[in-house]
């Protein structure tokens, strides 16, 4: 199995936004692999998995998911699409749900907590105070309306972390995971994510119960925006002070 640079970067950014069970040294080693990959020249994914040994990490689940959907013939190559499919699908939702017993002490709203685990297609817009927020819209123009349930709506993800190396003008839609904006989305990628999210019956039931999420005061866990900023800094630099 091999992986392309853009796929590993997206997977790595998602891990940095999550309190996953990986060490700082492991993250540095994965980033070193990422920096060594040439564009359009995928590398052996085993090098990434060897960083973690037998532990069950998001990188292992990405390999398992890719094998699950890969064609029978030929060597699988992990693309950005695989990373988006994994993290916007019910596959990832079910994994997040499986961790709830250990996380329960830090959860005040199950619906908001579960939604935060999913990679969502969002628009980056200023809030009433001029601060950046990510707006996840579902139904109508940004999804598929369903007459059998309340499918239309939007959720304001307040106080997201926008990495300074990203230019908000390059895309209309972006991927967000917890408080972190993890990359721009091509139109086809956004449509794929919308289809996967709409197919998740549990997510569709939970999301109308969430109107906004403030990542500076996330659940009972504190400032998730600052958490994402701190995890990002060793790899892409410290953003300028506000």
Assess if residue 220 is contained within a domain: yes
**In the predicted model, is pLDDT for residue 144 greater than 70?**
no
**In the predicted model, is pLDDT for residue 32 greater than 80?**
yes
Same domain (yes/no): 108, 79: no
pLDDT of 151 reads 62
Assess if residue 92 is contained within a domain: no
Assess if residue 239 is contained within a domain: no
Same domain (yes/no): 162, 225: yes
pLDDT bin (cut points 50, 70, 90) of residue 139 is: confident
Same domain (yes/no): 112, 229: yes
Same domain (yes/no): 153, 67: no
Assess if residue 96 is contained within a domain: no
Assess if residue 238 is contained within a domain: no
Q: Taking the alpha carbons of 225, 229, 230, 231 in that order, is the dihedral positive or negative?
A: positive
Assess if residue 93 is contained within a domain: no
pLDDT of 105 reads 81
| Percent of the chain with pLDDT strictly greater than 70 | 93
Give the Å distances, CA to CA, from 176 to 105, 132, 157, 211: 24, 13, 9, 16
Question: In the predicted model, what is the mean pLDDT of the chain?
Answer: 89
Same domain (yes/no): 25, 122: no
φ, ψ (nearest 5 deg) of residue 30? -65, -40
Same domain (yes/no): 64, 125: no
Domain count, the chain: 2
Own/partner pairs, 199-206, CB within 8 angstroms, 24+ separation = 199/89, 199/90, 200/89, 200/90, 200/93, 201/90, 202/90, 202/93, 202/97, 202/114, 203/90, 203/93, 203/114, 203/115, 203/118, 204/146, 204/149, 204/151, 205/149, 206/110, 206/111, 206/114, 206/115
Residue 132's domain comprises: 104-233
**In the predicted model, is pLDDT for residue 121 greater than 80?**
yes
Same domain (yes/no): 142, 218: yes
Same domain (yes/no): 80, 109: no
Average pLDDT on 210-227 reads 92
| pLDDT tens-place string over residues 167-192 | 999 999 999 999 999 999 999 999 99
Assess if residue 142 is contained within a domain: yes
Average pLDDT on 17-44 reads 91
Same domain (yes/no): 124, 226: yes
Average pLDDT on 205-213 reads 93
Same domain (yes/no): 115, 181: yes
What does DSSP assign to residue 39?
T
């Amino acid at each position: 199995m091999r992986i392309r640079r853009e796929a590993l970067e997206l997977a790595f950014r998602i891990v940095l936004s999550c309190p996953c069970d990986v060490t700082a040294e492991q993250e540095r080693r994965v980033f070193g692999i990422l920096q060594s990959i040439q564009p359009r020249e995928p590398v052996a994914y085993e090098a990434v998995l060897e960083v973690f040994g037998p532990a069950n990490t998001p990188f292992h689940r990405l390999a398992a998911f890719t094998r699950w959907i890969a064609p029978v013939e030929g060597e699988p190559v992990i693309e950005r699409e695989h990373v988006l499919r994994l993290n916007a699908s019910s596959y990832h939702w079910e994994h997040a749900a499986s961790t709830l017993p250990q996380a329960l002490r830090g959860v005040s709203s199950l619906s908001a907590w579960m939604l935060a685990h999913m990679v969502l297609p969002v628009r980056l817009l200023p809030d009433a105070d001029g601060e950046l927020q990510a707006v996840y819209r579902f139904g109508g123009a940004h999804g598929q309306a369903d007459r059998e349930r309340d499918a239309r709506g939007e959720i304001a993800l307040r106080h997201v972390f926008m990495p300074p190396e990203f230019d908000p003008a390059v895309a209309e839609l972006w991927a967000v995971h917890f408080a972190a904006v993890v990359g721009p989305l091509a139109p086809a990628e956004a449509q794929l994510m919308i289809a996967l999210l709409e197919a998740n019956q549990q997510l569709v039931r939970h999301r109308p119960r969430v109107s906004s999420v403030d990542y500076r005061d996330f659940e009972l866990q504190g400032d998730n925006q600052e958490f994402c900023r701190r995890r990002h800094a060793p790899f892409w630099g410290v953003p300028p002070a506000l």
